Amino acid sequence: MQIVYGVIRRIHLKERIFEIKIRDKIQYFYLTRSQMKQFNVYLQPGLFVHLKCHDNQLPHVIFTGRRKTKILAYEVVNFVKMIRRSQSKMTVYFDLTTIRRGVQSVLNKKGYRMFLDLEFTLPPYSFQGGQEFVAEIVQYGFYLEDEKGQVILKEQSLIKPKRHSGLNLRTYKFLNLKKSDFQNAISFRTFYYRLKDIINLYQPTIYVWGKNDIKVLERAYELHKLKPITMRMNFINLMQILKNYYGIKTDIGLFNAFAFFDEEIPETQDHDALQDAMMTRNLYHLFKQSFNNL
């Protein structure tokens, strides 16, 4: 991997390739589709960029007018900084250092940490647009650890939804459960007061994968007419942190995220809340270790 500094001379938008003159020689750099989507608004001739790219060049074809030209281009790993200078001012469009400071504050936050996962009902196969359906929590799982990363509590249970229509064939199939599994399920209120006790006692930062768990929990408070015991500020969406850090626009599957840390992707995902909570915890520690070792 190598570090490059320079001013963009020309951009070939269709091919996602831009040129930089380095030591009197034109060098070409190639962007992935996701990188192009993220930075397209900034990429213009005259933009100063600081980037990391792979050492090896790959063959590409660009078009200059009607002429086809074969070139060798380096694949961009990530941008570090983007700056546009004018006579009156300097504008910073992107600064990875600033992003890293934010990530550092999240990953090294003091106190107890809860890794929470919620599974919820799905609309039946017969569901049609325009019909009302409210997703409800039907399973929770969490790991609670202290500041040193030692697990002090883990817990899971099924939860009976208020609206029984949510316990349908589609939900059962997705969660690999059956109707009889819910005979001993707890009520949402039981889960609510259990969560309330833990929050009051430990005041943990709650890590989740994606924003859906946060939204469904907020709707559950309203559905059951209960006072909210969590606020958005209590949660950290670990997937969003990972997306921001790596400059990714699309959502990342929980299990697929292990590839970012050169870890083997788990073969099966059972949609089990405790298992997913454990995976979220594992990803947190992999991310933290990788980041702090930079």
User: What CA–CA distances, in Å, run from 4 to 27, 30, 158, 171, 244?
Assistant: 10, 13, 53, 51, 22
Residues in the chain: 294
Domains 2-97 and 108-292 share a fold: no
Integer Cα distance of 221 and 231 in angstroms: 11
Question: pLDDT value at position 71?
Answer: 93
Q: Is the pTM of this model over 0.85?
A: no
CATH of 108-292, one of 3.30.420.10, 3.40.630.40, 3.30.43.10, 3.30.565.10: 3.30.420.10
Inter-residue contact 27 to 74 (CB < 8 Å): yes
Instruction: State the Cα torsion 32-37-42-45 to the nearest 10°.
Output: 50
Angle at 94 between CA 89 and CA 95, to 5 degrees: 100
> Residue 163: phi, psi to the nearest 5?
-105, 115
CATH of 2-97, one of 1.10.3470, 1.10.10, 3.90.1150, 2.40.50: 2.40.50
Integer Cα distance of 279 and 108 in angstroms: 19
User: What CA–CA distances, in Å, run from 127 to 132, 136, 142, 166, 168?
Assistant: 9, 16, 31, 11, 11
DSSP state of 176: T
Inter-residue contact 74 to 28 (CB < 8 Å): yes
Per-residue pLDDT of the chain (294 residues; tens, 9 = 90+): 899 999 999 999 999 999 999 999 999 999 988 788 778 888 999 999 999 999 999 999 998 777 889 999 999 988 999 999 887 888 888 887 887 888 888 888 899 999 999 999 999 888 776 677 889 999 999 999 999 999 999 999 999 999 888 899 999 999 999 999 999 999 999 999 999 999 999 999 999 999 999 999 999 999 999 999 999 999 999 999 888 777 676 788 888 888 877 787 776 667 799 999 999 999 999 999 887 776
Integer Cα distance of 144 and 252 in angstroms: 24
* Cβ atoms < 10 Å from Cβ of 89: 7
Q: Where are the domains of the chain?
A: 2-97, 108-292
Integer Cα distance of 247 and 241 in angstroms: 10
Between β-strands 113-120 and 90-95, what pairing exists: parallel, antiparallel or unpaired?
unpaired
DSSP state of 266: P
Inter-residue contact 136 to 163 (CB < 8 Å): yes
Q: Which two tokens stand for residue 71?
A: 């070139």
